[in-house]
Amino acid sequence: MIQQTLDLRRTPAFSASDFLPAACNQAAIGWMARWPAWPSFALALCGPQGSGKTHLAHIFAARSESLVLTAADISDKLLADLPDRRGVVVEDADRGVDETQLFHLFNRLQEGGRPLLLTGRSPPSRWRLMLPDLRSRLASVPVAQIGAPDDDLLAALLVKLFADRQIRIAPDVTRYLISRIERSFAAHQDMVDRLDQAALAAHRPVTVPLIRALLE
């Protein structure tokens, strides 16, 4: 008989108090805190998958009263209905976007003096943009970069990711995982997802023996 599992994880916490500061993200945190004294109305926030871009974007959106959108959300209707005093955060702007719509959004926010935060895995200079006018505008946007994580941040990240799923882990679990999986944000997120499902299916807590069985 196949045991079905229910996904009971809670929504990830995106408050400022839940963000994990570290050496690799201090520059990005500084840029968020510096608004509205940015040298430009727009900023690009770049970093690896799972590095906290979405979390920082939500912190910024709450502080600046900006709308949080994905690249797919940008449309004629959105531009027509956009409140006059709201800034905009566009998540994953490097993963395929209507360049004409983003160009119009860029110009509208610039004319209104409202903030625009774009997130992506790489700086806009490396995005595959075909529209020359958009490419030239984004080339002038300052970049806040999130770097690779150290062991302390990866350990704190594991605790937070499990806590988002209402799972408490022992220190030996953290040490065991950090020494055995790829040193990237994405790999740690993927492992937490897999362990969460394995623990639910087996009705077991997340322990070193469970991790060992999964890895084997």
Query: 139 with 175, same domain?
Result: no
Is 204 contained in some domain? yes
Residue 52 is predicted with a pLDDT of 86
pLDDT value, residue 12: 61
Same domain, 93 and 124: yes
Residue 6: inside a domain, yes or no? Answer: no
Shared domain for 96 and 199, answered yes or no, is: no
Task: Give the pLDDT confidence score for residue 90 in this predicted structure.
Answer: 95
| Same domain, yes or no: 31 and 99 | yes
> CA 195, CA 181: separation in Å to the nearest integer?
13
Q: Is residue 32 domain-shared with residue 127, that is, in the same domain?
A: yes
Based on the fold, state whether residues 33 and 80 are members of the same structural domain.
Answer: yes
- The residue among 145, 168, 189 that closes a domain is 145
CB 165 within 8 A of CB 47: no
Q: Please list the residues that pair with 160 across neighbouring strands.
A: none
44 and 97 in a single domain? The answer is yes
> Is there a contact between 140 and 126 (Cβ–Cβ < 8 Å)?
no
pLDDT given at position 49:
83
User: Which residues in the chain come in under a pLDDT of 50?
Assistant: 1-9
**Alpha carbon separation from 167 to 36, 152, 172, 178, 200 (Å, rounded):** 38, 19, 15, 17, 11
Residue where one domain finishes, among candidates 145, 163, 179 = 145
Q: In the listed set 145, 174, 205, which residue is the last one of a domain according to the structure?
A: 145
How high is the pLDDT of residue 1? Answer: 35
Q: For position 19, what pLDDT does the model report?
A: 83
Residues 110 and 158 in one domain: no
Instruction: Give domain status of residue 129, yes or no.
Output: yes
Domain annotation covers residue 169? yes
Number of domains present in the structure of the chain:
2
Q: Express each pLDDT in 154-192 by its tens digit.
A: 888 888 889 888 898 889 999 899 888 888 778 888 999
Rg (CA), the chain: 20
Structural domain includes residue 18: no
Does residue 126 fall inside a structural domain?
yes
In a domain, 71, yes or no: yes
Q: Quick: pLDDT tens for 27-47.
A: 999 999 999 999 999 999 999
Give pLDDT, residue 10: 52
> Are 127 and 166 within one domain?
no
Query: Do 75 and 96 fall into the same domain?
Result: yes
Domain co-membership, 160 together with 137: no
Domain that holds residue 191: 151-215
Does 156 lie in the same domain as 139? no
Q: pTM higher than 0.85 for the full model?
A: no
CATH number at residue 111: 3.40.50.300
Task: Let me know if residue 131 belongs to a domain.
Answer: yes
Q: Which pLDDT value is given to residue 3?
A: 41
Residue 11: the pLDDT is 56
